[in-house]
Amino acid sequence: MTPAPQTAQSPTHSPTSDRPTVFVMYGATGDLSRRLVSPAFFELARLGRLPAQWRLIGSGRGSKSHEEFRDFIREALEEFGPQPADGPWEEFAANLLFAGGGFTADDPGELLDVLAAAKQDLGDDVEVVHYLAIPPGAFLDTTKAFATHGLAEGSRVVYEKPYGTSLETFEELDAEVQRVFDESQVFRIDHFLAFEAQQDVIHARFANPWLASIWNREFVAQVQVDIAETLDVAQRASFYDATGAFLDMIVTHLFQMAATVAMEPPADLGPGALQAARDAALQDFRELDPAEVVLGQFDGYTAIDGVPDDSRTDTLAACRVWIDNDRWRGVPFLLRSGKKMTADEQRVTLVLKSPADLGQSLHADAEPATISFSLLEGGALDVATTVRKPGVAGGLVQGTASLPLDGFEGPAPALPYVHLIEHVLTGDRSLFTGVEGLRAAWTAIDRFSQNRPEVLPYAPGTWGPQAADALAEPGQWFLR
């Protein structure tokens, strides 16, 4: 299916904020900074969307000159893009500074001096944005350090996921965050919420009455959220072995995606309303039953450097989630994510009830229709429906109409971190997780955390252990 021509829209080349801003990126020489955060800053510079006056201070434990840090960022852009030659590199680089020596409550390193100099250069009314691109285990101590060194007042702070690793650690971290900051200052990232295709799920539902009318338990048999990867964990072995697929993906990304599907229509599409609607949906998640969770580990995982020979870390997790409200009661939400699987896929699929389930006798044997959103790259909407098979013999056949969501005229889709950083600048919280929703998510898995099922082996290049297939019965996974 070819998208209808649309009127081209020019990107807005104007600063997001008129206020001078200093970004402090903690963990600036780490993998997250190199691959995602620094490229997003440069993309915003290319689009003219950074404030007219700004500085980016990289904070790290090592020692680098400002020029060495600029070289580091340039090398990151050359590896991951956008290319320095394709944007205002010299102007961008002049705004990059580095503060070594780490940052703790006991020792702020060079940060206070570098920050003071940057603020003096920018003049009055400078806003500071703290961006924590550091391991989650360091969030608590860094938050305490903000208070100790007087860096909290009037600033904004961005926490990467996971925000906590259990209900207990979530409560401990959030109590400190709430002590140091006002909630309006805090932005908690789950970057899957910033995928353009993820946002398309929301807008397609509410802009199309035919979709909105069937978005409920009367017509939907199952909702499936699938994030599959063919890659292993070689580049992140130490982090991954301490975390696993369930904590890395299910209780973070996939819970948020499920809540995006499940939420009630918000009062409007403004930032506060969208976040509140997702949070409310998460609070309706029933406590996860360990018997409805399957954990797997691909054969050969323990042979990876950095992984203990006796590791029982899950590289795949699948579960059945129930949402106790009038819209979704009785509809299973099937969530699955894993490494070394058959294909690279990111999908949200609504499996509709069959004609027989709806009490229709004509064509009662027809396959269930599906409405599926691909979240990869620019995204796509795929609608599978049953029609008459051509020819004298007739019969039924199912076909799929696909609408590529990046096929319209206008600006190219923006990467998630470009959206997120711009939203921090404007104070737009629509793409960030809410504290009550996160509390509900950790509460929903608390019983499972105390009684984790056995980790089952699976062959690389498959869809995981057979037990995961059984979660979809009497139906089947859309990806199979």
Name the binding residues for substrate: 191, 229, 248, 339
Which residues, including other chains, have CB under 8 Å from residue 46's CB and lie 6 or more apart? Answer: 82, 86, 87, 88
Tell the residue number behind the tokens 């903690």, with chain if given: 26
Return d(Cα 216, Cα 261) in angstroms, integer: 10
Catalytic residue among 253, 363, 419, 423: 253
Residues facing residue 432 across a β-bridge: 189
CB 285 within 8 A of CB 255: yes
Burial class (CB in 10 A: 0-12, 13-18, 19+), 194: buried
Return d(Cα 426, Cα 253) in angstroms, integer: 23
Residues facing residue 21 across a β-bridge: 54, 127
Which residues, including other chains, have CB under 8 Å from residue 153's CB and lie 6 or more apart? Answer: none
Residue 253 annotated in active site: yes
> Which active-site residues does the annotation give?
253
